[in-house]
Amino acid sequence: MPPHGREATLLPADHNQPRQPDSTAFMCPYCEAVLSNPGAAQCDSCLRPLPQKGTPVLRVQFPTGELKVSVGQHLVLGRDAGQSPVASTFTQYDNVSRRHSTVWLDPSGTAWVRDEGSTNGTFVNGERLPRGVEAPLRDGDQLRLAADVTGTVQLN
């Protein structure tokens, strides 16, 4: 007797992947559809051309590593690897929240940060952001998480 239902165990590839949190997905900067292929020339939902190489990139230089954010990418900063794809940058800082802030770059090249209800606060140039408020980031700004984790914003 042949093994029963062997083919049924071969699930499509995307069933094998853990679901990515929406906050880390690449989204169309126009219609915010999640892009299955961020390198595509156009959004497969609204069909508008997507930003290509040569568009601005946001970098935040922390003592423990440099974070890089492309247009359309929302990057969650925090200590929990389940919440933040860059958690390893912050694991050594106990006062950084599991899900601390989000940084992103809009299609016009403006960078933004939003505090996600962190315990110890998100600061831009020393000023604490009210929870949930979106604040612009400029080249050279100091982005601080909690008391002592400071990154320098680089925007080109």
Least Å distance, CB 32 to Zn ion, is: 7
Length of the chain, in residues = 156
Residue whose CB is less far from Zn ion, 51 or 56: 51
Residue whose CB is less far from Zn ion, 61 or 70: 70
Task: Answer yes or no whether residue 31 interacts with Zn ion by CB under 5 A.
Answer: yes
Strand partners, 112: 104, 136
Secondary element (H or E) of residue 13: helix 13-16
Classified as helix, coil or strand, 2 is coil
End-to-end CA distance of the chain: give it in Å, rounded: 64
Span near Zn ion by CB under 5 A; candidates 21-29, 61-69, 70-78, 87-95: 21-29
Number of residues engaging Zn ion in binding (CB under 5 A): 7
DSSP at 99: S
Q: What is the CA radius of gyration of the chain?
A: 18
Least Å distance, CB 88 to Zn ion, is: 31
Which amino acid is residue 43, in one-letter code?
C
Least Å distance, CB 48 to Zn ion, is: 5
Query: Residue 68 to residues 43, 45, 64, 97, 116: CA-CA distances in angstroms?
Result: 22, 26, 13, 20, 19
Residue whose CB is less far from Zn ion, 28 or 153: 28
Footprint of Zn ion on residues 47-106 (CB under 5 A)?
Answer: none
Residue whose CB is less far from Zn ion, 36 or 119: 36
Q: Site map for Zn ion, 39-58, x if CB under 5 A? A: ----x-xx------------
Chain contacts with Zn ion (rule: CB under 5 A): 28, 30-31, 33, 43, 45-46
